[in-house]
Amino acid sequence: MNEQQKISARRVRFNLLDGVIVLLVVLCIVGIVFRYSIMDSLGLGDEMAEYRVKFSVTGIDSTLPNYLGEGNTLYFADGVKAGKLCGISEFSLLNEAAAGSTTLVCRTASVYIDDGNGSLVLASYPSQTKIDAEGAFNCNGTYGDDSRFSIEGEKFVSVGQSVTVYTDTVTLNITITEIVPIN
Amino acid sequence: MQYIKPKKRGHDDGDARSVRINIVDIALIIVLVFLVLVAIEYFTSFSFFGNAGSSQTIEYTVEFDGVSSAMANSIAVGDTALGSVGTQSLGTVSSVKIEPQVKYIYDPASGGIVQRALPADAAGNTPVKLCVTLQVKATYKAGAGYTVNGNRISVGSPVNLSFDGFSGGGSCVSIYGVY
């Protein structure tokens, strides 16, 4: 074999498969650069921070709080993770005995009802029947440029909104009462 | 004597355009496919690596309001409860509890809401509150909870059950794992 043939034999052959691989690697690098630099400058990548979302529930069975535990993961009805349920010490000054639960501040349920004389009165249910409660969960979220708060950048929620959330054992309809950053 | 020129190793005759895949290409492809799968697993709700869940026997209690006493008495321990579609079992009755149906009304004397039992109707039937506890083998999966034949069972959620003598919608009030 002469020198020219030897050089030909040693030449690196660039084929279609190598081209596809190089293209995929370049796309991955571009994606990473886009995610961590250009997205932020375009305002598309708002930083997530920890927030505490406080909520209330009304008219639930008095035994329901027994099935909730501190640290339970909450999910929205569509399966999106909402956050982790707080213990009462994280959002309330009450202790477990006063609150009636480790995760919810419970009180006897009360409703506005007609007293028969045309007036509305706030009446309470008998004890150990129905309760109203407050709770909270911690989540990662961010406020967008439109001042809307989103959890994990996926789920938009706002104060006053009623949503269905669930843990592994409980399904709850909650009303969001406050969204505060966790320092 | 014929001299046959030996074929040189690595020398291809007329095969210059063939695609050659070597071990490095295969390794790169595996790494890239793995990175794509991890990205899909992490950034989307789709899961390649999610497990099918574990099987666990549970007992759950469903409360039905305003059930006629005759229908309530037709349910017995050992009966099979079917789903609303009527073909899939949602458990076997392990206990039945029948209580007088109460209604919450405002009592001006006490200023609060009190329980009052419903009176019998014209035929003498009194509606009752039926509490049925069922035992079933459920699938537990973190993030989805307990499911029985595709039906999610959780405290506070509605449950539709069918028995031989009764069919109705109730609310799950308790759930326990049976060990």
Same domain, B58 and B39: no
Give yes or no for B119 touching A (CB within 8 A). Answer: no
Q: Residue for token digits 């695609």?
A: B19
- Is residue B74, in this structure, part of any structural domain at all? yes
Task: Print the domain residue range for B26.
Answer: 20-50
Query: Can you give the pLDDT at residue B161?
Result: 93
Same domain, B41 and B94: no
% of chain B exceeding 70 in pLDDT:
81
Same domain, B45 and B60: no
Same domain, B112 and B136: yes
- Is residue B9, in this structure, part of any structural domain at all? no
Instruction: From chain A, pick out residues whose CB is under 8 angstroms from the CB of B111.
Output: 121, 123
Give DSSP secondary structure letters for B96-109.
EEEEE-EEEEEETT
H/E stretch holding B78: none
CB B146 within 8 A of CB B138: yes
Same domain, B25 and B85: no
| pTM, full prediction | 0.73
Q: What tens digit of pLDDT does each residue of A8-61 get?
A: 555 566 778 777 877 887 888 788 777 666 655 555 555 789 999 999 999 999
Q: What tens digit of pLDDT does each residue of B129-160 get?
A: 999 999 999 999 888 899 998 889 999 999 99
Same domain, B81 and B160: yes
CB contact (8 A) between residue A18 and residue B108: no
Residues 111-140 (A) with a CB less than 8 A from some CB of B: 111, 113-116, 121, 123-126, 129
- Is residue B32, in this structure, part of any structural domain at all? yes
Tell me: pLDDT of B8 over 90.
Answer: no
Of A67, A64, A84, A82, the residue nearest A132 (C-alpha): A64
CB contact (8 A) between residue A126 and residue B11: no
Rounded to 10°, the helix B23-43/A16-33 angle is 30
CB contact (8 A) between residue A13 and residue B156: no
Same domain, B145 and B165: yes
> What ipTM, to 2 d.p.?
0.70
The number of C-beta contacts closer than 8 angstroms across A and B is 90
How far apart CA A1 and CA A159 sit, in angstroms, is: 81
Q: What tens digit of pLDDT does each residue of A116-130 get?
A: 888 898 999 998 999
The residue from B50, B66, B92 where one domain ends is B50
Query: How confident is residue B52, by pLDDT bands cut at 50, 70 and 90?
Result: low
Q: What tens digit of pLDDT does each residue of B58-103 get?
A: 999 999 999 999 999 999 999 999 987 667 899 999 999 999 999 8
Tell me: pLDDT of A83 over 70.
Answer: yes
- Is residue B7, in this structure, part of any structural domain at all? no
Give yes or no for B86 touching A (CB within 8 A). Answer: no
Instruction: From chain B, pick out residues whose CB is under 8 angstroms from the CB of A129.
Output: 104, 115
